[in-house]
Structure 1
Amino acid sequence: MDTEKKIPSGFIYFFGSFGGILFGYDIGVMTGALPFLQHDWNLYNDAGVIGWITSAVMFGAIFGGALAGNLSDKLGRRKMILISSLIFAVGSLLSAISPHDGQIYLIFVRIFLGLAVGAASALVPAYMSEMSPAHLRGRLSGINQTMIVSGMLLSYIVDYLLKGLPEQLAWRLMLGLAAVPAIILYLGVLKLPESPRFLVKNNRIDQAKQVLSYIRPIDEVEGELKDIQNTAVQEESANKNSSFKELLSGRFRYLVIAGVGVAAFQQFQGANAIFYYIPLIVEKATGKAASSALMWPIIQGIILVVGSLVFLWIADKFKRRTLLTLGGTVMGLSFILPAVLNIFIKDMDPMMIVIFLCIYVAFYSFTWAPLTWVIIGEIFPLAIRGKASGVASSFNWIGSFLVGLLFPIMTANMPQEAVFAIFGIICLLGVVFIRTRVPETKGHTLEEIEKQGLGK
């Protein structure tokens, strides 16, 4: 990499967050591919296999997040994003060439693909938070969420455009085209600089100063570099043999529990049940074939993208905890109210549940969806940031995996309204967690958060 050549800050922020496109595309693509895959492989009566094929990526991501977070402390955020993009491209192409009725093959390939998805979910927030100035960190870290939901919307549109093809070809193309953004990411990240905080931690001070000169006003570079150096020296002397056990040591425990808890709640609240299975949810509500309901994912995708843009506008105007409390409360009520109404209104239109799901998605899109990754990126001290981000990402993917695996089994045995009511209760428990366990981090530098423990 040519470190002498000036790299525009816009280029750094765009490709620094572009990993979210891959993350989002693979979250969304199975939504449209699943109805065709179901028909092609005759999986209509096997909810367990459907759940495993859908959630295999999340299972791989559990390990990908932890591994990448740990390795990024040794190899650097940039290098690990490059490796992840290559794994993503290979995994996407291997998915597309699955043998007919190759359920086991596809599950294992998607687990492999999940390593890259989990890595991206851990690396991008850490990289973006370390590159962003404190007063813009919410907005710039929120670009990651805009990338994620743009990837989801892109996958929904691709699914919709390909739905007229023969079913055995349609789902293969849907899965295989994920290699395209992976290659774009690889080429873009080749030109990115490494995080200045990683460079300081590895005693590459001149390079760190140069990177800061790309992304900060010239009169702020020396001051921020000194703050990073002081923090790095303190952490190095206090933490020479950092290990995963350190994450739960007394001085780190409070912030680790807060960050990991937010990551876990985001998934156990049930958002991905909607994103993975909305055509099947509409099919169950209306009786129409899931493959004819592929406009609904696009509607959800548009809501998500608009919500992520709203977040970019309000990110640094409102406190993190305020937005998470608002979002969690409305999301919980959106899940619980259909079950309550169904008790009192005997002939309630089954599409009402879909309307409430849209309200849920709208509030999720500008609160819990982006802020989870903002908090993961900014709350952990430098000495453990890679490891802790990886663990938080892994807990996020454990939730995503369990939701993806269990939702089709739950809806096969319970009314949909009851399933969503359970998720609604979890949303409200998430609000309690935010109010009692998560410190406010808006407007503080990463070094201030680390020194103060902010509310500890």
Structure 2
Amino acid sequence: MLIAIVIVAALFGMLFGFDQGVISGALPFIKQDFTITPFMEGVITSAVPLGAVAGTLLAMVTTDRYGRKPMLILGAVIFLVGSLISAFAFNQYVLTLARLLIGVGIGASAMTAPMFLAEVAPARIRGTIVSAFQLMITIGIMISYMSDAAFGGTGDWRWMIGVGVFPSIIALVGILLSPETPRWLTLNSNADKARDIIARLQPESSDAEIDEIITEIKESAKDEEAAPAWSTFLKKGILPVTSFAMIVFVLQQLSGINAIIYYAPEIFKSAGFSGTTTQLLATVGIGVVNVALTIVAMYLVESMGRRKLLILGFFGTAASMALVTVATMMNIAATPYLAMIGIFAFIAFFAVSLGPLPWLYMAELFPLRLRPRGMALASIANWFFNFVVALLFPELLAGIGIVGTFAIFTGFCVIGIFYAIAVAPETKGVTLEEIEQRTVAAG
């Protein structure tokens, strides 16, 4: 049962990834149909992360009251409707509004699904299970790139986007058949049902062990019956958690990841690759590397630990972005290939570290009653800076070129190295309740 539920919840990551990645291959053909400027290109692309801010706020006010499962159901419905409207959009404004709607679904499910996964997973494999969400994001991105390449020959961007309808239906059916999380049920006076679900999720656990899990959940929440005030996040023990969860997402976005995900064909064109087909095939390569290394991350996150992996990720992404910057600045015959190596290396280091770890950290670090609002704050930081990068990248590329733009990304990756060394905690193998006790003790 645990495996089935994890697959269903992680499917929302695939929807997230698909809608992030599909625009990269569709944009060249959308520009032909609607004759849009670089600024409008940024608006269409950035509509998803902007909508995700609203989706995050929606999830924040509903997940505690109505549960994790209803929010995921709503997210799947929004994905489905938004994908259909996008595929049939008759101008750039309808397309932008449809992508804004999709963003609401992404924001709501991107906050709720990691929470759902963290709350159903046993502590010993929680890192691997929550990382499955990031794996499915990368699979969704890869599928979107394949969809772009498949329809690239005909330039049919509507089919590129419309493919997203099918995983939306699968996710909706799957989550309708899934249970609510034991932690939410216990917190809402339904411990008997929670006990039954834990027994099905962890059939190897004895009755005494299940009772102990229920007791730990109750103990962690007994003094936090009311929804927390926002000022709680500024308290001594909570502020370091809040700031870390937000800043690590900001640095993730400013590393340049979504400039590559959203605009990969444009980047390959600027690096010297000619021909739309070549650019789309190179983009598929990004998707394949992303998936392969995210699978590796699911092992490393438990064997190597969170802290060391985050530091390694910032080192690797900084070096990779520096290679792209220097290669394009040299402008020699080998520049396209050196730039491609740098981009692929960046994706590899990102996939094993900067990709999954911020989502995992935000699901682990906040105490139970603070978790929805705390994760909302972290998610808003993520989506706002995602929006900024997506909106400004076309203008930056047109204004200061690929060299200046990637030099900026390199600088933020270097900042990330020092920040991770100074601040990043280790949570490998620690239960959510033990993490909460540490946070409370620090306050």
Q: TM-score, normalised by structure 1?
A: 0.92
Partner residue, 1:17: 10
Amino acid at match of 2:2: S
Alignment match of 2:297 (pick from 311, 321, 333): 311
**Cα gap change, 1:89 to 1:341, in 2 (>3 Å):** closer
| Aligned CA distance change for structure 1 residues 54 and 290 (closer, same or farther; 3 Å) | farther
Q: Which one of 408, 418, 422 corresponds to residue 422 of structure 1? A: 408
Equivalent in the alignment of 2:135? 146
- Comparing 434-443 with 133-142, which one deviates more in the overlay? 434-443
- Counting aligned pairs with the same residue, the percent is 33
Where does 1:399-410 land on structure 2 (aligned, <5 Å)? 399-410=385-396
Residue 439, structure 1, aligned to residue 425, structure 2: yes
For 2:439 and 2:418, how far apart are their aligned partners in 1? 20
- What's the CA shift for 1:251? 3.2
Does residue 1:211 correspond to 2:197, yes or no?
yes
Number of residues of Structure 1 aligned to a counterpart in Structure 2:
438
Q: CA–CA distance in 2 between the matches of 1:15 and 1:360?
A: 29
* Cα deviation 1:45-78 (Å, max 9, x = unaligned): x110001111110110112112213311111111
Unpaired runs of 5+ residues, structure 2, are none
Partner of 2:99: 110
SS of residue in 2 equivalent to 1:294: helix
Shift of 1:292: 4.3
Q: Report how far residue 158 of structure 1 moved.
A: 1.1
Read off the aligned partner of 1:14 and give its amino acid letter.
I
2:323 and 2:28 map into 1 onto residues whose CA distance is 29
For 1:257-272, what aligned pairs fall within 5 Å after superposition? 257-272=243-258
Q: Deviations over 1:100-127 (max 9, x none)?
A: xx22222122111100011111011111
Q: Distance in 2 between matches of 1:108 and 1:393?
A: 21
Task: Give the Cα separation in 2 of the matches to 1:370 and 1:287.
Answer: 30
Partner Cα separation in structure 2 for residue 158 and residue 342 of structure 1: 29
TM-score normalized by the length of structure 2: 0.95
Contact 2:328/2:402 (8 A) holds in 1: no
Is 1:65 the equivalent of 2:51?
Answer: no
2:175 corresponds to 1:189: yes
Q: State yes or no: 1:347 paired with 2:346.
A: no
Q: Which residue of 2 aligns with 1:5?
A: none
Task: Provide the residue aligned with 1:225 in structure 2.
Answer: 214
- In structure 2, the CA distance between the partners of 1:290 and 1:55, relative to structure 1 (3 Å rule), is farther
Tell me the SS of whatever aligns to 2:193: helix
Equivalent in the alignment of 2:366: 380
Paired AA for residue 67 in structure 2 = G
Does the CA-based 8 Å contact 1:327-1:368 persist in structure 2?
Answer: yes
SS of the aligned residue for 1:234 comes to coil
Q: Say which SS state the counterpart of residue 197 (structure 1) adopts.
A: helix
CA separation in 2, counterparts of 1:284 and 1:160? Answer: 19
Choose from 280, 288, 308 the match for 1:302. 288
2: CA distance, partners of 1:185 / 1:340: 43
- State how 1:109-128 maps to structure 2 within 5 Å: 109-128=98-117
Q: CA deviation at 1:182?
A: 0.9
Superposed CA RMSD? 1.7
**Cα–Cα, structure 1 residues 440 and 454, in superposed 2: closer, same or farther, change >3 Å?**
farther
Partner of residue 83, structure 1 = 74
Distance in 1 between residues matched to 2:303 and 2:441, nearest whole Å: 20
Spell out, residue by residue over 1:113-172, the C-alpha distance to the aligned partner (whole angstroms, 9 max, x if none).
Answer: 10001111101111111111111111111111111101111111111111222x3xx111
Range with bigger deviation, 380-389 or 259-268: 259-268
Pairwise CA distance, 1:210: 1.0
Q: 1:324 aligns with which of 301, 305, 310?
A: 310
Distance in 2 of aligned mates of 1:383 and 1:442: 22
- For the residue of structure 2 that corresponds to 1:417, the secondary structure is helix
2:153, 2:277 within 8 Å by CA — same for their partners in 1? Answer: no
1:349-374 alpha-carbon deviations (Å, 9 max, x no partner): 33122221111111111111011111
1:416–1:378 distance in 2 versus 1, CA, 3 Å: same
Distance 2:235 2:164 in 1: 40
Distance 2:72 2:89 in 1: 26
- For residue 315 of structure 1, give the secondary structure of its aligned residue in structure 2: helix
435-444 vs 83-92, greater mean Cα deviation: 435-444
The separation in 2 between residues aligned to 1:249 and 1:256, in whole angstroms, is 10
Q: Distance in 2 between matches of 1:392 and 1:417?
A: 30
Extract unaligned runs of 5+ from structure 1: 1-7
